[in-house]
Amino acid sequence: MASRKSPSRKSPARPAKRAGGKAPVARKASPKRGAARATTSALTLPTLHESTTSSGLKVIAAERGPLPMVSVRLVIRAGSATDPDGKHGLADFTARLLRRGTRRLNAQAIDEAVEFVGASLGVGVSEDTLSVALTTPSEHFAQMLDILGQLVREPTFPQSEVDDARERELAQFANDLDDPSIIADRAMVRALWGNHPYGHDVGGSSKTVKTFTRDDVVRFHQERMGPKVSMLIVVGAVDPQRVAAAAEDAFADWTGGPDAPVAIPAPERIALGGRVIIVDKPDQTQSQVRLGGPGMRMGHEDYFPATAMNIALGGGFTSRLMNEIRVNRGLTYGVSSWFDSMNAAGVFALSTFTKTESTREIIDVALAEIGGVREKGLKPRELADAQAYLAGLYPLRTETNESIAGSIAEARLHGLGDDWVERFRDRLRAVTPKQVVAAAKKYCFAQAPAVVVLGKADVVKKQLKGLGPITVVPASEYE
């Protein structure tokens, strides 16, 4: 649930969290009609061909036509959870600098080489991984893979680029203070995770970023990024044998990094469960509201019943939360709930906003709706609609080379099994009402959630009495 992530970062499972004001009453639309048409054919992935470079990099190739394009994803287990103490945001900062120069190419030469062949190259960081994504015409695959290899093998991190990147990041943090949704998200991350490795914004904070030096970046690259904690996924119109040969050429002399991924422990509890954090922003006429409690790691046995349950509760436009809070009461334009599942653990959270005067009302209504599902589960029709809706959307994960590469990376990263995509809809449809009830009792705030409200503290504080001990902090605390 980190609030600032690069464009290629996760999370496709989380809905957008911004908006404002009172909503017009919307006509309910059933999402399952289009979904039913999308579920008629079986989902299959291309055959996976695996190899390993002499440096220890795992390579997975999937040949797929007919378009003469190739998508590449290099996934390194060096996400923000591996940031050193006192250097939160360093993984993200390092990733942004990878394409600012190598021993053979400066930043401009890299940009020109990529643009000349009609390719695209980007980086992204999540809590668990640092990724480099490449899309290229097939005929230029080997050339572009060589450039990708240079980025991770021999980046130079020029001092001028480090200084410029630091200034850009600090300016962005200052600008973020004007976005109440971003600040509320950051406050929620800290409230949920505390001092856990997942407990800070992927981009860090102005306090940590201003301390970054070139030596910090070089050390992170040498100590955290290496072939033995990475995997290369290639999907598209390219022969798997050619992929293996090109990967060996591009990564054979890649050294550094650990022999095994950094172990991230599961937290014992939600850091500020049962407590209320008010982020004071006196100029606000609305309150940003976040509620959060324990969730699950990716691949947990509760994944399918919990996911189906959440679609009906707060994961869609016709969900219970949307119907009651937006349609029936007009308290907001948007409300959503979701599971944010990482490799070590996860959370269940809710996000919404409302005018200052209705802050307590929207919290009480949300808790009542969540409590209703916790106590009684879903109606059979609600579960069936949720299953049909999600089953209908899931084939989008296999429509493009990029989405297939992402699905393969996700399955391997979290140990989901290579049949995860093919069996996803069958496992989803097999969820029973009894399993949903069990999941709801476990995850729908069985214990008091952490509550974060960003808004006018002197007005909302008295509204929030009875929800737990209250702490007021200035918005600048989250810059």
202 & 308 share domain: no
Domain final position from 217, 236, 252: 252
314 & 351 share domain: yes
206 & 347 share domain: no
Question: How many structural domains comprise the chain?
Answer: 2
Query: Mind spelling out the 3-state secondary structure of the chain?
Result: CCCCCCCCCCCCCCCCCCCCCCCCCCCCCCCHHHHHHHCCCCCCCCCCEEEECCCCCEEEEEECCCCCEEEEEEEECCCHHHCCCCCCCHHHHHHHHHHHEECCCEHHHHHHHHHHCCCEEEEEECCCCEEEEEEEEHHHHHHHHHHHHHHHHCECCCHHHHHHHHHHHHHHHHHHCCCHHHHHHHHHHHHHHCCCCCCCCCCCCHHHHCCCCHHHHHHHHHHHCCHHHEEEEEEECCCHHHHHHHHHHHHCCCCCCCCCCCCCCCCCCCCCCCCEEEEECCCCCEEEEEEEEECCCCCCCCHHHHHHHHHHHCCCCCCHHHHHHHHHCCCCCCEEEEEEECCCCEEEEEEEEEEHHHHHHHHHHHHHHHHHHHHHCCCHHHHHHHHHHHHHHHHHHHCCHHHHHHHHHHHHHCCCCCCHHHHHHHHHHCCCHHHHHHHHHHHCCCCCCEEEEEECHHHHCHHHCCCCCEEEEEHHHHC
Q: How many whole angstroms separate alpha carbon 399 and alpha carbon 406?
A: 11
Domain final position from 220, 252, 284: 252
330 assigned to some structural domain: yes
232 & 312 share domain: no
96 assigned to some structural domain: yes
Domain final position from 252, 268, 294: 252
204 assigned to some structural domain: yes
301 & 414 share domain: yes
222 assigned to some structural domain: yes
369 assigned to some structural domain: yes
Query: What is the domain range of residue 348?
Result: 276-477
41 assigned to some structural domain: no
What's residue 41's pLDDT? Answer: 67
239 & 336 share domain: no
- How do residues 25-72 score in pLDDT, each as one tens digit? 232 333 433 333 344 467 888 999 999 999 999 999 999 999 999 999
282 & 399 share domain: yes
Whether the Cβ atoms of residue 359 and residue 289 lie closer than 8 Å to each other: yes
The length of the chain in residues reads 479
Rounded to 5 degrees, what are φ and ψ at 101?
Answer: 140, 140
357 & 445 share domain: yes
77 assigned to some structural domain: yes
214 & 363 share domain: no
Rounded to two decimals, what is the model's pTM?
0.89
240 & 315 share domain: no
91 & 177 share domain: yes
The ranges of the chain with pLDDT < 50 are 2-40
- For residue 381, how many other CB atoms are within 10 A of its CB? 9
30 assigned to some structural domain: no
200 & 167 share domain: yes
Between β-strands 230-236 and 276-280, what pairing exists: parallel, antiparallel or unpaired? unpaired
What's residue 42's pLDDT? Answer: 77
What's residue 104's pLDDT? Answer: 96
What's residue 29's pLDDT? Answer: 35
